[in-house]
Each structure stands twice: as structure tokens, then as C-alpha cells.
Chains A and B, each alone.
Chain A
Amino acid sequence: MKLIIDCTPLANWVGHPTGIQRVVIETGGRLCGLFASASLGLFDGDGRCLAYDLTLRSTGAVIEIERGDVVVAAGSNWDFPEHHNLLMALQARGVKIVTLFHDIIPMILPYSYGPGFSELYERWFVEALAASDLAFSNSENTRQDIIGYAKSRGLTCPDVHFVRLGDEVPCSSEPPSGRVLEKTAMPYILSVGTLEYRKNHILLLNAYRYMIDVQGYRPPQLLIVGKKGWLDHDIEYQVDNDPRLSGLVSILQGVTDADLQCLYQNALFTVYPSFYEGWGLPVAESLCFGKPCIASGNSSMLEIAPGLVRHAHPLRLDEWVAAIREFSDNPTVLAQATESVRTGYQRAGWAGTANSMRDVLLKHYPALL
């Protein structure tokens, strides 16, 4: 019985890996160290599985996958039907498929994705779940969502285990760009995340308008970092054409790792009013940099660091205004919160992720040892 870590998402890997690629690299490399029978494999266009070298980023000899072998897949194949079909075919031949699922938000908030995506995602998910012999989730909340979804549709659900992914933080020895240095010269609140409906930036703009118009209060500047996504209420246009936000709110796109690092390091605190998350990376990132975060009080965002994250309801503007003002108006409160984060937040490492996965895999497949 062999263990194969599916590295196909790395096929087009250029530059600094983020997201799923990062997960594959960090867990794949370590799992290989933990199991003698494990190898990294990359499926080519002809459906062959080739041994993959992480350091050289190159493929080698063909790995013959046999009935009873275990393939761990990163669960990002909704956009890659060919690769998905390949895994389905392996499963049909008696190969065990283990899938890491990141979220089922397209089924929970279908309108937060562009037309057609939710249906596409759901079709993939239903097939991938049915084909999985075992599943991992990146949060307890996603685990519950998967089990709940399967139950509500009468689907068979494999065992689902939560594994905490390692914290990733942008890190660079390059200098930040001039525009970022300029923006970070004045105190600011930071919000990192794609400009899209789900990340709910409109709430921040409206909270700022409310503080200015209704409360006659001028909050610190707000720096929003994110590329444009689906249904973002034209945040950029609103900022550009609203005199009360001009100079106070800025949207930064195409930032480098050095920029992002600088932005986190110098922020007063961060805000993340997302409607729903599978995990909530910017929350953990903020804590890694020792910055308090105000995040929505739902889904996985409640799990990241209970007690260290301040929560507000993504539809309730008053809660955000109160939380933002509490930190902005009270340097002592902010300093205490910052201190709690610095001393209290345990950064999650990838070794822990790999160890958790090993334990679960061994329990299910003792023959892997």
C-alpha cells in the first residue's frame, strides 16, 4: 500500500506559492518524511502519475498506482474537470481517494459568486465527496458544513477530520514600494481580502460614512488591499467619487509581499467583515503580525483564536462602529489588545498540520506504516 500526495496543482507553479499550492508544498513535503511509503506525484495530460521533486520542480519516473493505494488530493478540481475525472477513474479502480475540502460556501451563499459558479462547484463537490474514502477540512466549521450538507441531501459522507493548516505570512527582505510607504506614514486600519460581495467591504465604507456624517467623527484612514472580484458594490468607484471618503479610504492593488508585510506591521489593527469563510487567512495573518483583528462572528472565524479576536456581526453596522471606535479612541485598550495578541497567539506551523494528517491516515490505513 502506497501513499501518493497529488501535486498536480503545482503543474503551473510560478513564483511565490500561495493558497492551495502552498498547502500542497508544505504538507506534501512533510508527509513524505513521515511515511516511508509516501511519494509526491503529478498527473500529466496522458493520465500518468509522475514522481515529483519539490526542490527541482521537475517530474521523474512513472508511479504505478495500484488498487488499495491512497491518493491525497488538495480538493481544488472544480476548475480542472480532466484531473477530477482522472481521480474519479482511480477511485473506480479501487484506489482510495482522500480529499482536503476548503469550504462549501458556494452552496451556502450562492449569490456571493458569479453566475454559474455555485452550480459548477456543487456538481464537483458532490462527486468528489462521493469518491472520497476519507476527508480533511481546514476548519471545524467546514467539517460541520460538509456533514450537514451531506445529511440534508441524503449523501454518504466519509469521515471528515479537521486539520489546522499552517499560518502563512507574507515575508520579504525587499523594501516596500513608495506608494505603500506614503500610505503607511499616517495611522491606519487595514483590511486585506478580495473586493467582492462576500468580503463585505461595503460595510466598512458605510461604517466610515456613518461615523463621519452621523457621529461627526473622523476615524483613522482605512487601507483596503485586494483585487477586484464578484459583486463588490464598485467599492473603488465609490471611494473615488465620494468626497467624504477621499483621502481617508484607499484601495491598494497589486501589492508585493514586502508591501503586505509593511502594511501589516504598521497597522493600528485590522478589520475583516466577511460574510462567511472556510478558514479566514487574513485574520490569522493579522495575529501573526501581532495586530488585533475585528472579524465577523461567524463560521470558521470564531475558531482561529477564541479570546484574541474581537467579533462583530457582518450585517450590523453599529457593532463595527463601536468596535472600531473602541480601538481608535482608546490607545490603552488597543495597546492591551495588541499585547494579548503578541503574547497569546500561538502561530500554527505546518509540522502540526502534517502530523495531524499522519495520525488520521494511520488510523484509517494502518498498512501505510
Chain B
Amino acid sequence: MKLYFDYSTMQRWVGNPTGIPRTEFCLAMVMRELYPAIEFVVVDDELGCFHLLKGIPSECVVGEAVSFAEGDVLFSAGAGWAFACYHEQVRLAKSRGARVYRVFYDLIPALYPYFYEQGTDFGDYFGAWSKEAFSMCEGAFAISECAKNDMVSLFDLDADQAARIRVIRLGEDFSGMGAEVLQTNRFEGSGKFLLSVGTLEVRKNQACLLNAYRLLAKQHADHLPTLILAGRKGWLDGEIDFQVKNDRVLSRFVRVIKDASDYELQWLYENCEFSLFPALYEGWGLPVAESLKAGRPCISSNTSSMLEIAPGLTVFASPYSVEEWVGAIGELLFEVGKLETLTEKVRSQYVPTAWAVTASAMLNLILAPHKVIQNQNDLCSEDIKQKEFW
């Protein structure tokens, strides 16, 4: 039996990984520690079929084509929809007896096509692609209950099929690939600020925060901290940058940062008063978890997976209702003791998930018939949680 880990998405990625590539990278590193016999593979439309990949992460060399055999496992946490040949190659692996496991992040392109530049064309393709991917899976991992529920309803699954989906929680202990030598920080000494991290795009809904600040500035102009929006420009962002520069109120209070380094982001999380995440819909909502992990409360939308991250520690507001954001921000800023109490609660109660825990839960399921890893508790021991994988 061989366990093949599909590293195709990271293999094509340049620079410090974020989003799906980051998850693929983290799982690859941890699974390699937990299960040294793991083999990494890569596919794209030029290669045409899965090939072995040696030397990850920094000295990748593509080797010979993989010949799948009965009982092998093909695991993927990548963006396979980018490759036209993908499903065909997975089908081929299955026909030779391989079992397939895949991580499903979300079905947002199918549910909200207008969040993406390619609209319903991409939404329809992505929905159909995901459904077919699921139909070939022995088991599937969803990154939230919400993502699982969306799969059940969009793929129209019965209870037995739904039982093939296991919800796992993504790890949070990624601290970069260690390549950043110059750890400079341009923001030290900027005074009090609130933080919102995420691509500037319609889905992340920063426009709601601009409108909330327009209302807040009327009531609290002298006591309103800066709002820092950290994220690169994405699809349909409502020209956030232009609005901020040309609105006489917002230009005083809002700062847009499109090129923050991981190091700076970490500093921003640790030093903000609290963070804001008004996304319309998420598969998970990493910036919520990152904020809590940094010991800072977060006001997030009351939709989708954001409700699952830390319900007792997060303040919720509807992403469509600007006044709910004005209310929630105002409460934390101006009601004496509120922010201190909540910050203390976050610091004492929030427990970040380690990638080792995520990965071992997945390996246990994938390798279940072979019982390679006997006791999950062993894997979750402090030793492994603390282990420096990066």
C-alpha cells in the first residue's frame, strides 16, 4: 500500500503560500513527519498523468509516472479544478484499485457566482467539478460543518453518502517558510487601530466597514482609532482604495495596506485593538482564527462557517447590516471594560489547532484499514503539537 500526496497546487505556487496552497504545504510537511513512507506526486495538463515528486518543498524534481496499484491511496488538498486532465487521471487511479481522499474547502463559486470574475460560468463548472470529485472519493474532508452542509445540499446526498464526509479543523500553527530575513515592520508606533485582513473584494465586504466608519465618524470623530485594511486587490472591491482616498472622512481614518508581509501581518494582529471580518460567506474564515490566536477579539459575520470557529469568543454581526457593525464596534470601543474583558477571555480560552492534530485525524481515517497509526492520542501529545515543522 502506498500513500500518494498530491502536491500539484503548491508545486506551481511562487512565493510564500496562502490559502489552499498553504494548507497543502502544511499538510504535506506534517504528514511526512507522521508517515515517512508518504510519496508526493504532481499532475498538470503538460505532464498528463500523476508523476512522482522528490525534494519538496525547496528542491522539487519530477520523477517517473506513478503506477497506482490495488490498495494505494491518493490524497489531495489542492485545487485540482485547474487541470483539465484531473478527473480522468483520478478515474484511472481508481480503476487500478486506488482509494481517493480529498479536502473540500467550500462551494462558494457555485453558491455565489458573482463573488468571482468568471461569474456563473465558473460557478457552474466548479459546482459540477466538485460533485464529480466527490463521487470518486472514498472519503472526503470538509473544512467546516457549513462546507459539509453545502456539499450535502448541492450534491444532493443521502445520509449514507453524507457520512463519507468528515469535518476537520484546519491547523493554525504556520509561521512562514522561514525565508523572511529582513523582518522589518512599517507599522510600529502607528497608534491605536482596528484591523481587517482579507483580499479587497466583494466577498470580503470591506465596503461594509467603510460605511460603518462613515457612521461612526459622525458620532465619535475624536476617539475613533484608525482602521487598517490589509489585503491585495481582488474582484469587485467597490474601489475601496479610491473611496478611501477621495472621501474626506475616510481619508482621515482608514489605511489600506496591499503588501503586508507575514511578519507584519502577525504584528498587526497582535497589536490591533480587535479585528473585523465582515465576509459575506466563507468556507472557514482564517482571519477570525488568526485574530483569536493572537489574543485579539474579532467581530465577524454571523453567516456560514464563521459561526463555528469560536462561537463563545466571537462577536457577530450581519454582513449586510451596517448598523449592526456600528453597534458592535461602538460597544467594544466605547463601553468601559468590554474590550478588556473579552480580550482576557480570548487569551485564556482560545485553543489554536495544531496542524499535527489535523493531519493525524486525516491519516487515521485514510489509513484506517491498515491501522498504521494506532492511537491518535499519541499523535496529539504535546511533543508533536510543539514540534517545529517549518
A: residues with CB less than 8 A from B are: 109-111, 115, 118, 202, 206-207, 209-210, 213-214, 231, 233-234, 237-238, 240-243, 315-318
Q: From residue B99, how far is it (CB to closest CB) to chain A in Å?
A: 34
Complex-state Cα separation, A202 to B205, whole angstroms: 12
Q: Closest chain A residue to B120 by CB distance?
A: A241
| A-B contact number at CB 8 A | 68
Would you call B193 an interface residue if the criterion is a C-beta within 8 Å of the partner chain's C-beta atoms? no
B: contact size bracket? 20 to 34
Instruction: Evaluate contact between A238 and B114: CB separation under 8 angstroms.
Output: yes
Q: Closest chain A residue to B323 by CB distance?
A: A316
Q: Which 6 A-B pairs have the closest CB atoms?
A: A111-B246, A241-B114, A241-B119, A210-B320, A241-B113, A110-B246
Chain A residues with CB under 8 A of B112:
242
Q: From residue B308, how far is it (CB to closest CB) to chain A in Å?
A: 18
- Of the listed stretches B82-90, B235-243, B267-275, name the one at the interface; the rest are far from the partner chain: B235-243
Instruction: Evaluate contact between A233 and B238: CB separation under 8 angstroms.
Output: yes
Would you call B135 an interface residue if the criterion is a C-beta within 8 Å of the partner chain's C-beta atoms? no
Q: Closest chain A residue to B321 by CB distance?
A: A317
Chain A residues with CB under 8 A of B236:
233-234, 237-238
Complex-state Cα separation, A238 to B115, whole angstroms: 8
Complex-state Cα separation, A234 to B247, whole angstroms: 20
The one of B114, B215, B248, B303 in contact with A242, judged by C-beta atoms closer than 8 angstroms, is B114
Interface residues of B in 193-250 (CB under 8 A from A): 202, 207, 211, 214-215, 236, 238-239, 242-243, 245-248
Chain B residues with CB under 8 A of A233:
202, 207, 236, 238
Known A-B contacts A109-B247, A111-B243; the reply to A317 vs B207 at CB < 8 A is: no
Known A-B contacts A237-B119, A242-B114; the reply to A210 vs B318 at CB < 8 A is: yes
Instruction: Evaluate contact between B323 and A318: CB separation under 8 angstroms.
Output: yes
B: residues with CB less than 8 A from A are: 111-114, 119-120, 123, 202, 207, 211, 214-215, 236, 238-239, 242-243, 245-248, 303, 318, 320-324
Chain A residues with CB under 8 A of B114:
237-238, 240-242
Instruction: Evaluate contact between B320 and A231: CB separation under 8 angstroms.
Output: no
Chain A residues with CB under 8 A of B247:
109-111
Instruction: Evaluate contact between B323 and A240: CB separation under 8 angstroms.
Output: no
Q: Closest chain A residue to B123 by CB distance?
A: A241
Chain A residues with CB under 8 A of B245:
111
Chain B residues with CB under 8 A of A238:
114, 202, 236
Chain B residues with CB under 8 A of A240:
114, 119-120
- Among A206, A213, A231, A234, max chain B CB count under 10 A is at A206
Instruction: Evaluate contact between B113 and A209: CB separation under 8 angstroms.
Output: no
Q: From residue B59, how far is it (CB to closest CB) to chain A in Å?
A: 42
Chain A residues with CB under 8 A of B322:
315-317
Complex-state Cα separation, A71 to B239, whole angstroms: 42
